[in-house]
A and B are shown apart, each in its own frame.
Chain A
């Protein structure tokens, strides 16, 4: 009995000889659907025999075979390339001024490269750089994978990289067409990253980079990623729009911020099937869809950086969450900018936003503006504003009776009792 027969019998998908004369047990036999599934699997296997050579795929995609089984597709774009409403403009100022240092996750500084045994590549460990690397060191990265479940069985079969080389945009996509070619494929990617200092991705910290690290580990190669500072744009986007948009997918970013609509896009979720269709049946067409999808992702990344700078400079113009961005600026040590953004939007702020603004004024020592906002909020019974006013009059103006007037208007509860009790004890006895 073959292994297959034994397994089918154990799982009950192969009818036993005895079952055939027993009408009561018809459900033990495979259903028609199961039998059909078996037949169609056989067909799929039959077509697998004729996989076209990699050269055919390279030709269909317009790519070069840079090593056996590894394709590279290169596109060069001018410094005025238009992506949706946005121009991919890497002008003289460069990215350095556009990237907020608070968006960057610093490099792990090659810790991994040191402790692991250096296997195959020279240790390209660079000294720790400044917070914002020069623009020439910025690389945008986006990958396509064989699945979303993660783990060592998930492949990164397309790695797209986009960088400004001083004169134009250079977009390179590496495609893995043979499984045993992975070391060469990964070496090419690692070489691309060797000169970079800052890596821009969309959700790369959680998804693309750990998967690439896993693949490099499995191939015994040194991982350049821990050495790179990371600019995962999902984080600033989520901060600015998480409470405004229904989702923060890159497609939403394109539609709402970049004015870019994809035509005939191959959804990212279909990428695994497209690669399998090549590996199993030699289909080339779906892969060209994957590469186009990946290119759009990369261009959107590059377009998003200057656009995001605008969002953080003037959130209201982009319908972003002004309060969240003001909070961010304050945390980054820019209270004046935070006050400016909130003041401009004052008419549209809710009570929480106004309280934020008043707090910023108070921290600047601007009691006048702070009190004006609190008075306005207190008029509608806002507890935070009432508390602040009570504190202001008690501690700053040394006027407990005035403070008590505010405190008594607080909502009933232990906080009010505590505050009122203390204030009453400070009042001269009647």
Chain B
């Protein structure tokens, strides 16, 4: 209740109210809204007017119909008519016309607009009328299983209308060995994922010869998830697929389906390597959509500290549930999912004899647990779902009324995708975007027009990233010998093949490159990450050993260190032992009243400078870096009070990678003149890095975590961190504190890097934009309303630093000014 009191003190919000209180005039909502939703909204508007920065209402949209195509296979047309679909939405008909003309296409319309039929219709028609086959690819096994159920429903309807049965099978890691042959030889539609295509289908394509010879369509759903490293891998897998198809004399048509992104056609073209037509206008009807931007009240104006987003999201969700509305809360991390779940369960699930009303849903749960959760959601047994991005995908969880976003998800596309979870089936819906104190969130709140006007992001992939490309050239060479003059990707193929020959993998004879090694290259290439091997979490309570969760390699060091509290459905487990080599974490159930948060430090060394440009008294450069990430320890944080109640030591191997980065350096003389105190200079760089990181993420249309930031000397000799005491600190490569005066030469370097091994092409365009980034960051810090620095500009600062002669904010401004 503290927050309410603070919020009503007008002094706490001297400036923001005036600037931001700019709601869109609300239109008539009495006759379309369900009473509960209207009551929730008016409750929020009346009680928390000061927190609502902006409001928008998207009017309901009527359906736009088209006739069923005349040449549709008759049993299919009858089946559709009998199931109450005698007509198609406009975009479904457009998809049909393109698919029948053998044009590659992408359907990028909002959630719940009937995208599935856009590809099921031409595919089923091809199966029924011409005996052709189709391959469906989904990013997860669960989605493929959902879809096969839907296809089988449709197939039964077709059979009831006198058509032939359509055989649709999933093919994934769970398909038993004796069933695989039936899938290969009898399946009309095979539903799989890119990983299976990569590891099991393409390297054994001769076993699939019949399937490939009949292949008419390749359907790639959830296109927008194929971004970054994963997308680059999948683009190469599709290059391999098309190569195998050519071998069997077929040229399948690609049908992509995507959530709203700015460049669906471009992304699809990059993925399949051919021109793709986009369908972006939905003909589906839509209920009225209400959206609130919500900024938690300021509780310490000097430090710019606001109430936590978590407390606000919990409050809104609670109000929704009490009015009988179904609500989903999206959090940005798995940890935050568990924390919010706990707070909601403390309110709604106090009686263990009753079925739970609150459910957490995130990656890392075992498939069986996720299936159970999905069923409970579909059955309407759950009132509150707390989720990570896992539910951005098309998992069917039934209708919801309210979507609360705990923090800006990082991209406009993801924001709309999450908001779209509420309001299925034409009902009006409410979305609330709750800002955290992060710079990006606060920027949104200060400029709501940015959010409403912004088009969704461009999804980018870099399929010719050398390491990834080499991996797939290797796999492709195994699948089918390359011929002289063939091409694969943007690099010179002959040179790559020559390299593989020198490694002993290939032999060149008679104008062909033959695979000769005794190995199966696809097994060594994982599409999801560069490092191998998920960790399993094993519960050893009660003397038994039960696997309770899986954690991917890259998140393991930050979540499974010894002493960590690992949460599942908000039940805490303590990690007793971590077997790093065996990829196992042994945990026991515990009753801790705190959770843990790992501290990580990053050190970079410049390997190669590609480009360089002088700006002001400094310079920006772009090149390759070697990065070491270390997890020295963790904080224990008590529930509710969020006090730091202790530290623990983490003993883990360093995580290393090579990636691309851009960096800034300042002439040492100019730095010494502007900021003679090296301690201040360090804090200036840390603050400038914080601001640059956030504006760069916005500019690159990337998520914050796709980019990393670091301050060091560029040689890996020292690196700077915000120490536990809240002061910038220099540390040596061993993590020991280091005196800033210890080195004769003092040349702090500010890095922004691609947070993926090998890089994914983010830093190069940022380098081209460097002057603009510095100007934006200068603007962000300079225009901030705080005194000495706050999480909305240079990151959190100590109260005592407010009164320094040069505040951290001024130091950051000094550094940014030198770079202009």
Contact = CB atoms under 8 A, between A and B. Distances in A.
A64 B470 CA distance: 40
Chain B interface, DSSP helix/strand/loop, else mixed: mixed
B114 interface: no
Contacts of B523: 149
B516 A7 contact: no
Interface string B201-214: 00111110110010
Given A9-B607, A214-B207, A22 B716 contact: yes
A217 B517 CA distance: 20
A153 interface: yes
Interface stretch (B137-145, B355-363, B372-380, B494-502): B494-502
A400 B608 CA distance: 94
A145 to B, nearest CB: 9
Given A3-B496, A7-B470, A217-B206, A149 B717 contact: no
Interface in B456-494: 466-467, 470, 477-481, 491-492
Interface string B550-561: 000000000000
B519 interface: yes
Contact of A153 (B203, B209, B491): B203
Contacts of A115: 210
The dominant DSSP class at the A interface is helix
A152 interface: yes
A91 interface: no
A80 interface: no
A6 B205 contact: no
B516 A146 contact: yes
A43 interface: no
Contact of B717 (A24, A178, A280): A24
A380 interface: no
B174 interface: no
Interface string A77-121: 000000000000000000000000000000000000001110000
Nearest to A16: B607
Given A18-B605, A153-B479, A179-B514, A7 B466 contact: yes
B716 A16 contact: no
Contacts of A180: 509-510, 512, 514
Given A10-B467, A24-B717, A16 B605 contact: yes
A11 B656 CA distance: 10
Given A146-B516, A151-B203, A16 B626 contact: yes
Interface in B598-641: 605-608, 624, 626
Given A25-B716, A150-B204, A7 B209 contact: no
Contacts of B520: 147, 149-151, 153
Interface in B283-327: none
A116 B209 contact: yes
Interface string A38-51: 00010011000000
A288 B509 CA distance: 23
A345 interface: no
B518 interface: yes
A151 B507 contact: no
A128 interface: no
Given A214-B206, A218-B480, A24 B716 contact: yes
Contacts of B791: none
A178 B522 CA distance: 25
B599 to A, nearest CB: 21
A327 interface: no
Contact of A18 (B499, B606, B658, B732): B606
B504 A280 contact: yes
Nearest to A280: B504
B116 interface: no
Contacts of A117: 249
Interface string B165-206: 000000000000000000000000000000000000001111
Interface string B684-728: 000000000000000000000000000000011100000000000
Interface in A1-57: 3-4, 6-7, 9-12, 16, 18-19, 22, 24-25, 28, 41, 44-45
Interface string B505-532: 0010110101111111111000000000
Contacts of B606: 16, 18
B733 interface: yes
Contacts of A22: 605, 715-717
A152 B205 contact: yes
A215 B480 CA distance: 11
A166 interface: no
A149 B519 contact: yes
B515 A153 contact: yes
B761 interface: no
B336 to A, nearest CB: 34
Contacts of B717: 22, 24
A24 B718 CA distance: 11
Contacts of A210: 207
A18 B715 contact: yes
B209 A9 contact: no
B758 interface: yes
Contacts of B477: 153
Contacts of A217: 206, 209
Most buried by A among B206, B209, B510, B515: B206
B490 to A, nearest CB: 13
Nearest to B474: A153
A19 B129 CA distance: 65
A149 B522 CA distance: 11
Contact of A12 (B492, B510, B516, B626): B626
A276 B503 CA distance: 13
Given A7-B499, A116-B209, A24 B733 contact: yes
Nearest to B492: A3
A7 B626 contact: no
Given A146-B518, A152-B478, A18 B607 contact: yes
Nearest to B606: A18
A9 B507 contact: no
A155 B733 CA distance: 49
Contacts of B715: 18, 22
A279 interface: yes
A10 B516 contact: no
B209 A12 contact: no
A147 B519 contact: yes
A195 B711 CA distance: 76
A45 B502 CA distance: 7
Interface in B206-225: 206-207, 209-210, 213
A210 B249 CA distance: 22
B206 A149 contact: no
A178 B509 contact: yes
Contacts of B213: 116
A280 B210 CA distance: 35
Contacts of B209: 116, 217
Contacts of B518: 146-149, 272-273, 276
Contact of A179 (B495, B509, B732): B509
B516 A155 contact: yes
Nearest to A45: B502
A316 interface: no
A213 interface: yes
Interface in A108-149: 115-117, 146-149
Contacts of A24: 716-717, 732-734
Nearest to A153: B478
Contacts of B514: 179-180
Interface string B227-261: 00000000000000000000001000000000000
Closest 3 CB pairs of A and B: A180-B510, A153-B478, A147-B518
9 contacts: A3-B499, A4-B499, A10-B758, A18-B605, A147-B520, A153-B477, A178-B510, A210-B207, A273-B518
Given A11-B467, A153-B477, 9 more contacts: A6-B466, A10-B466, A12-B626, A24-B717, A25-B605, A149-B520, A151-B203, A213-B206, A279-B507
